[in-house]
């Protein structure tokens, strides 16, 4: 029985990808937190090792909480993490591999000079989750730690020459009013064009930065794209999206405490996120586990430079088996069809919808600023003009159970607004505690493209969807009772007045990778 939450310290070392994660070895609820450790050569098949970091010293005796890895010059990994000390204070500690010649990095040493950062003048119960550190042009390391000052979310900045002695900078890297505690901040550079990722310490003209925070208040994350001033050590968002809980999200669904790392092998920045259960806690105890890590995603800056784009890492393709293929199929108004020939309880579906006319798009009310509320109002069963169209995944044969993933196009003044929703309201015959419809707007010019793509990764109790090539991503947890194993069906539907064409649909069965010491 066990429970996992935040991904911690992802990194690549000597041919191996490492993922650590907050983990309760004694139960499927949060508690007794250690840094569990798994290794992989492809980030799909995983081998669990012994926990790497666990409470043992005065500076972490009450908990080993989240943190990040940094690769020091000479390819030496180091971990910064939050310890809960004997007095219950949140302090920042450092840990080093015991044996650098072991590519598995099985054992970690916590020097006695810890803690290296103490909550001086900072709320000691709101001071945690150090980021990956980065090196400034002056040869000095920087790291940020999440915090709050009253209701203001804070990313405190610390500097060090040797990674051992750290001093608090006069000004935080960034802060934002009324956002509450900033958990698990993540701060990294992105290239202004192309998909290649950058090392966290990369510098250069024209680079942008991304600052992501996880909000304890809402249990959602948001990020901004902005400019990092290396000389002043401040981050200023570009102001192209709100710098608060209404801002952009890596994922508009059940996705929290996320963290990226730079993969030096394929030169990509990879995003990990934790997806919590939405089930009743007693069911977690029965099934013996709770919480999952989502499929790793490559993340880059969109060519519009206003948002990031995410796409499942290509290694996922190695798990594809049997394929179904459909092309140029019309889905008439108020119609649907089934995708047959493969099992879809574990599947990867990629579909492109052609939208030939936007004439009948519903009018957009400018008061609809909250996509989630709008999807609650206009779910998949509410007929529209252009859309709702999309997929019904993990559906039972007679559709008593189904999770709808869909788009709806609206006509606003001088533009069209595209809404993407993932609606689990009818996902299970057994009512759940928490079944929110998740949604995000999709920043595309559909009048120009006349088409939109959708990719969904379906895995028994998880649906991860990527709209418009990964511009809007939504993860949900669902618990069907009929639509399981070979009884899970996949449909394409159109509940709008306008006909839609599936120009291409590819769907693959996905085989189960190695996990949990299989």
Residue closer to ligand DQQ, measured from CB, 183 or 464: 183
User: Nearest residue to ligand DQQ, using CB?
Assistant: 65
Residue closer to ligand DQQ, measured from CB, 275 or 344: 275
Residue closer to ligand DQQ, measured from CB, 4 or 346: 4
* CB neighbours of residue 101 within 10 Å: 6
Q: In this structure, what are the phi and psi dihedrals at residue 10, rounded to the nearest 5 degrees?
A: -60, 145
Please list every residue from 180 through 219 that binds ligand DQQ, using CB under 6 A: 183-184
**Of residues 5, 24, 293, 437, which one binds ligand DQQ by CB under 6 A?**
5
* Least Å from the CB of residue 14 to ligand DQQ: 28
**Of residues 65, 406, 407, 508, which one binds ligand DQQ by CB under 6 A?**
65
Q: Based on the shown chain and the rule CB under 6 A, indicate whether residue 379 belongs to the binding site for ligand DQQ.
A: no
The residue count for binding ligand DQQ (CB under 6 A) is 12
Q: Helix, strand or coil for residue 376?
A: helix
Vertex 464: Cα angle to 458 and 470 (nearest 5): 130
Catalytic residue among 6, 85, 129, 499: 6
Query: Is the dihedral angle over the CA atoms 156, 305, 70, 470 positive or is it negative?
Result: positive
Q: Are 66 and 53 in contact (CB under 8 A)?
A: no
Residue closer to ligand DQQ, measured from CB, 147 or 201: 147
Question: How much helix, strand and coil, in percent to the nearest 5, is found in the chain?
Answer: 5, 50, 45
* Least Å from the CB of residue 65 to ligand DQQ: 3
**Of residues 43, 52, 105, 257, which one binds ligand DQQ by CB under 6 A?**
257
From the list 150, 308, 134, 151, the residue with the least C-alpha distance to 233 is 134
Q: Based on the shown chain and the rule CB under 6 A, indicate whether residue 461 belongs to the binding site for ligand DQQ.
A: no
Q: For residue 175, list its beta bridge partners.
A: 154
* Least Å from the CB of residue 84 to ligand DQQ: 9
- Residue 471: exposed, middle, or buried by beta-carbon count in 10 A (0-12, 13-18, 19+)? buried
Residue closer to ligand DQQ, measured from CB, 129 or 315: 129
* Least Å from the CB of residue 499 to ligand DQQ: 45
* Least Å from the CB of residue 74 to ligand DQQ: 29
Token representation of residue 246: 């209404």
From the list 491, 467, 504, 494, the residue with the least C-alpha distance to 389 is 494
Vertex 17: Cα angle to 15 and 20 (nearest 5): 145
Residue closer to ligand DQQ, measured from CB, 82 or 475: 82
Residue closer to ligand DQQ, measured from CB, 55 or 513: 55
Taking the C-alpha atoms of residue 369 and residue 257, their distance in angstroms, rounded to an integer, is 25
* Least Å from the CB of residue 291 to ligand DQQ: 10
- Residue 36: exposed, middle, or buried by beta-carbon count in 10 A (0-12, 13-18, 19+)? buried
Q: Based on the shown chain and the rule CB under 6 A, indicate whether residue 128 belongs to the binding site for ligand DQQ.
A: yes
Q: In this structure, what are the phi and psi dihedrals at residue 315, rounded to the nearest 5 degrees?
A: -60, -25
Give yes or no for a cis peptide into 56 (omega within 30° of 0): no
Taking the C-alpha atoms of residue 363 and residue 229, their distance in angstroms, rounded to an integer, is 42
Q: Based on the shown chain and the rule CB under 6 A, indicate whether residue 6 belongs to the binding site for ligand DQQ.
A: yes
Residue closer to ligand DQQ, measured from CB, 66 or 465: 66
**Of residues 85, 129, 251, 263, which one binds ligand DQQ by CB under 6 A?**
129
The interface mask with ligand DQQ, positions 15-54, x = CB under 6 A, is -------x----------x---------------------
* Least Å from the CB of residue 416 to ligand DQQ: 37
* Least Å from the CB of residue 91 to ligand DQQ: 12
Q: Based on the shown chain and the rule CB under 6 A, indicate whether residue 241 belongs to the binding site for ligand DQQ.
A: no
Query: Active-site residue 6, yes or no?
Result: yes
From the list 310, 338, 349, the residue with the least C-alpha distance to 474 is 310
**Of residues 66, 147, 224, 461, which one binds ligand DQQ by CB under 6 A?**
66
Q: Which residues lie below 8 Å from residue 484, measured CB to CB, with a gap of 6+?
A: 345, 460
Taking the C-alpha atoms of residue 168 and residue 149, their distance in angstroms, rounded to an integer, is 15
Which positions are catalytic? 6
List residues near ligand DQQ by CB under 6 A: 5-6, 22, 33, 65-66, 82, 128-129, 183-184, 257
């Amino acid at each position: 029985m066990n429970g996992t939450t935040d991904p911690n310290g992802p990194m690549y070392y000597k041919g191996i990808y490492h993922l650590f994660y907050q983990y309760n070895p004694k139960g499927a609820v949060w508690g007794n937190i250690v840094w569990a450790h798994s290794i992989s050569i492809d980030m799909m098949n995983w081998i669990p090792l012994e926990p790497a970091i666990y409470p043992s010293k005065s500076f972490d005796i009450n908990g080993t909480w989240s943190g990040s890895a940094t690769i020091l010059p000479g390819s030496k990994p180091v971990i910064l993490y939050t310890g809960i000390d004997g007095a219950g204070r949140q302090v920042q500690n450092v840990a080093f591999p015991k044996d650098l010649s072991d590519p598995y990095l099985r054992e970690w040493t916590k020097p006695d000079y810890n803690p290296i950062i103490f909550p001086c003048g900072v709320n000691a119960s709101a001071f945690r989750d150090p980021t990956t550190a980065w090196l400034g042009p002056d040869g000095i390391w920087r790291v940020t730690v999440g915090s709050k000052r009253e209701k203001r979310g804070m990313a405190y900045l610390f500097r060090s020459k040797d990674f051992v002695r750290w001093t608090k900078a006069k000004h935080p890297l960034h802060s934002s009013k009324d956002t509450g505690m900033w958990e698990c901040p993540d701060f990294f550079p992105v290239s202004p064009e192309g998909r290649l990722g950058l090392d966290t310490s990369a510098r250069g003209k024209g680079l942008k930065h991304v600052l992501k925070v996880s909000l304890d208040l809402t249990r959602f994350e948001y990020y901004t794209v902005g400019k990092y001033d290396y000389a002043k050590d401040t981050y200023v968002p570009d102001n192209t999206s709100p710098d608060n809980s209404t801002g952009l999200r890596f994922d508009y669904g059940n996705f929290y405490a996320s963290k990226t790392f730079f993969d030096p092998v394929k030169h990509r920045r990879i995003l990990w996120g934790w997806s919590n259960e939405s089930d009743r806690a007693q069911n977690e105890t029965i099934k013996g586990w709770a919480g999952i890590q989502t499929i790793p995603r490559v993340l880059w800056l969109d060519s519009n430079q206003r948002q990031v784009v995410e796409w499942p890492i290509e290694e996922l393709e190695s798990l594809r088996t049997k394929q179904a293929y459909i092309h140029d199929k019309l889905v008439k108004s108020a119609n649907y069809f089934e995708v047959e020939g493969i099992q879809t309880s574990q599947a990867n579906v990629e579909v492109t919808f052609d939208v030939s006319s936007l004439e009948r798009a519903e009018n957009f009310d400018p008061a609809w600023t909250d996509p989630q509320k709008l999807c609650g109002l206009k779910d998949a069963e509410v007929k529209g003009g252009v859309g709702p169209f999309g997929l019904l995944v993990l559906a039972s044969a007679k559709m008593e159970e189904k999770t709808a993933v869909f788009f709806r196009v609206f006509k606003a003044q001088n533009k069209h607004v595209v809404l993407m929703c993932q609606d689990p309201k009818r996902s299970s015959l057994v009512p759940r505690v928490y079944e929110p419809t998740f949604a995000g707007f999709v920043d595309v010019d559909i009048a120009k493209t006349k088409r939109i793509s959708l990719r969904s990764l379906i895995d028994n109790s998880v649906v991860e969807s990527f709209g418009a090539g990964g511009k809007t991503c939504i993860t949900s947890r669902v618990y069907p009772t009929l639509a399981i194993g070979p009884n899970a069906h996949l449909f394409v539907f159109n509940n709008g007045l306008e006909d839609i064409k599936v120009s291409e649909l590819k769907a693959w069965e996905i085989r189960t990778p190695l996990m949990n010491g299989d």
